Structure 1
Amino acid sequence: MVEEGLRGGISMVSRRYAYANNLGMGEGKWNMNKPKSFLLYLDANNLYGWAMMQYLPTGNFRWIRDEQKLASLRDEIISNEMENDIPEDYILKVKLAYPRELHHSHTDYHLAIERMKGKDMYSRVRK
């Protein structure tokens, strides 16, 4: 199950063009008939170093078979009440419904990567 869950990492999410629309742009430079939008640039240093300092699972793996514990875990996840720094981790195998209306807004950073062999999607050149 652990091997099935492995995914490659995304190291950068980039959109080459961004457009802001707000009053702060100055008179005549924004369209009050369109929704307001703002630009935000974020940069983080030493993400790899931080990741290397986090806990990694090393052993003592076991299935949770207690239905009450599973229900409690589910409630913690849904309510976002699970603590970050606890000595135990969980690997979840889930079936997700990814609403089509979210696809376009998540184009740059997909939230539920699917592991698949898409050989039927290759171009003739690739095949």
Structure 2
Amino acid sequence: MKKAVLMTIALGCSMAGGSAQSFDLDKKLLDYCEKAKACTLKQIETEQIPEQYRDMVMANMNTMCAGVKEQFTPYLKQEPAMLESAEQCIDSLNKMSCDELMSAERETKECKTFNKMLEEKEQQP
């Protein structure tokens, strides 16, 4: 299984916030996670990966979509600019085809901007 698949899901799922103003982001993130799952399933079928591994990958993706987002929730609640940047990143990912989404070159300009903001925030005391 390509490392990009899990990295894509982890990136996307780590971006959702829990505040009322992040409702749109949560919806966009859900759409993204569903799209990424469908793309991953398509790739698994194309590569004829055994069902036991398929089930394991899909379970991991479900867990990541449900849980990893909590890691960055405090930043998004505190920073409206980060929330907007996260939404732009998810929007850019949602516009990608499955081939683009599963490629190693899947990081968009918008996601690079969000990741830079996130790194800067994490470096602050």
TM-score range, shorter chain: under 0.3
Greater RCO, CA 8 A, separation 6+: 2
Which has the larger Rg? 1
TM-score w.r.t. structure 2 length? Answer: 0.25
Q: Which has the higher helix share?
A: 2
TM-score w.r.t. structure 1 length? Answer: 0.25
